Amino acid sequence: MQSGNPYITFSHVTKTFGAFKALDDVSLQIPRGAFVTLLGPSGCGKTTLLRLLSGFSEPDAGEIFVDGHSVNNLPPYRRGTPLVFQDYALFPHMTLYENISYGLRIKGMRKQDIDRRVAEMLELFNLRGMELRFPKQLSGGQQQRVAIARALVLEKEVLLLDEPLSNLDAKLRVDVRNELRQIQKKLGITVIYVTHDQDEALSMSDLIAVMQAGKIRQAGTPWQIYFRPDNRFVADFVGTVNLIDAVVVSTEKGTITVDWNGQKLIFHHAAADLRIGQAVELMVRPECFSIHPIHENVSPDSEDLTGEVTFFSFLGRFIRYFVRVHEKTLIIDDSNPGLDGAIEGRVKVSIDRDKVHILGEKELRTS
């Protein structure tokens, strides 16, 4: 991924369909060679943004630039932004070879060169030996590989993917998304990927743009989106989260102290935008807690929380606990479960203070 001037730019883009505003003054800059995911719930505008870039629709306002040149009003075939649809859109009467080579044949390329490029795609996507098969003779994962290969064989610098893995089962989705990310890194192309699956976005992306109601609520790295969300919507939408109401009681010496139902919690935090008496929310991911049983005659440390396990779910690689603390149920993940089973009864709960994110008034107002 190259830094410097953005390769693709959406500048104040708006798109409406009748009375419905699908995109509302959207601006986004995408570096060359990045894997960028548009993430959000159904109807948030992510597919519309992709279709505007590919040329299948035009914005009502704003401009779209590719490599510094406006592509507004250019037809799709002149934009160099091939789009792979959710339903693959393979030609059922064509073989795998004919599907992949279709765009090259339309361009009038020599058969020798077509054969060479198709062979490269077959090797890249592990499809060699299947050239004469028809789409109905391929698995869902193989059909998806053919659809992506058909776009990549044109040797464009951009690939647009609209929820390409949604028709695959869970295990195959993981396998194909890992292959896709490796291929993108190998080729160095710019990929814009639409999904509502947070795991896909976090595992594949260099940059994630979280969308809601036609707006980009935050654009950042997976780490920024997950651990330092800009607002309550992003915090709650991306992954599982505990949101704890608290009040600021002290801001001094690079720390902030909050009160949660009478218990004081101290964090290292830049408190320039927080004031004493202000209501805040503590954003804590389930894995940022640790949980231990309380033995008789052993008092928890003053900085620990105490609670009661109300329910747990064993998920193999971790146990998810639901623990009642100060009249609130916390979701806590123990990534190192013991062989003797789950913890039950009264427990002490510790927080990784460095990974707690504090949402103040500004973040709550824009949630």
Which residue type, as a one-letter code, is found at position 55?
Answer: G
Determine, yes or no, domain membership for 319.
yes
Q: Rounded to whole angstroms, how far apart are CA atoms 10 and 8?
A: 7
How are beta strands 305-314 and 83-84 bridged, if at all? unpaired
How are beta strands 190-195 and 158-162 bridged, if at all? parallel
Q: What is the CATH number of the domain that holds 318?
A: 2.40.50.140
Q: Rounded to whole angstroms, how far apart are CA atoms 48 and 54?
A: 10
Q: Which of 169, 204, 236 is the last residue of a domain?
A: 236
Q: Is the pLDDT reported for residue 3 higher than 90?
A: no
Q: Which of 236, 259, 289 is the last residue of a domain?
A: 236
* CA-based R_g, the chain, Å: 25
From the list 69, 75, 56, 67, the residue with the least C-alpha distance to 15 is: 56
Determine, yes or no, domain membership for 298.
yes
Tokens of 256: 């902030």
| pLDDT tens digits for range 317-341 | 899 999 999 999 999 999 988 788 8
Q: Is the pLDDT reported for residue 2 higher than 70?
A: no
| pLDDT tens digits for range 70-91 | 999 999 989 999 998 877 789 9
Determine, yes or no, domain membership for 1.
no
337 or 309, which is more confident?
309
- H or E element, residue 236: helix 232-237
Residues 231 and 246 in one domain: no
Q: What is the CATH number of the domain that holds 141?
A: 3.40.50.300
Determine, yes or no, domain membership for 2.
no
Determine, yes or no, domain membership for 28.
yes
Task: Give the pLDDT of residue 361.
Answer: 63
Determine, yes or no, domain membership for 46.
yes
Considering its fold, how many domains does the chain have in total? 2
- The chain-wide mean pLDDT, for the chain, equals 90
Determine, yes or no, domain membership for 122.
yes
Determine, yes or no, domain membership for 179.
yes
Which pLDDT band holds residue 302 (cuts at 50, 70, 90)? low
Domain housing 55: 8-236
Question: Are 356 and 281 spatial neighbours (Cβ–Cβ below 8 Å)?
Answer: no
From the list 10, 163, 22, the residue with the least C-alpha distance to 88 is: 163
Residues 323 and 206 in one domain: no
Task: Give the pLDDT of residue 296.
Answer: 56
Residues 230 and 361 in one domain: no
Residues 217 and 262 in one domain: no
Which of these ranges, 106-115, 127-136, 195-204, 252-261, has the smallest mean pLDDT? 252-261
Q: Is the pLDDT reported for residue 230 higher than 80?
A: yes
Distance from the first to the final alpha carbon of the chain: 31
Residues 53 and 165 in one domain: yes
Task: Give the pLDDT of residue 334.
Answer: 94
- Average the pLDDT over 247-263 and give the result: 89
How are beta strands 35-39 and 83-84 bridged, if at all? unpaired
Residues 181 and 60 in one domain: yes
Residues 161 and 200 in one domain: yes
Residues 143 and 201 in one domain: yes
Which pLDDT band holds residue 272 (cuts at 50, 70, 90)? low
- Sequence-ordered alpha helix ranges (H) in 95-164: 96-106, 111-124, 140-152
Residues 202 and 164 in one domain: yes
Q: Is 105 strand, coil or helix?
A: helix
Q: Is the pLDDT reported for residue 19 higher than 80?
A: yes
CA distances in angstroms from 271 to 196, 221, 254, 278, 363, listed in the order given: 33, 23, 7, 11, 14
Q: Is the pLDDT reported for residue 294 higher than 70?
A: yes
- Average the pLDDT over 341-360 and give the result: 91
- Average the pLDDT over 142-164 and give the result: 91
- H or E element, residue 233: helix 232-237
Residues 68 and 125 in one domain: yes
Residues 218 and 318 in one domain: no
Q: Which of 211, 236, 261 is the last residue of a domain?
A: 236
Which of these ranges, 1-5, 168-172, 224-228, 284-288, has the smallest mean pLDDT? 1-5
| pLDDT tens digits for range 157-173 | 999 999 888 877 888 88
Residues 191 and 120 in one domain: yes
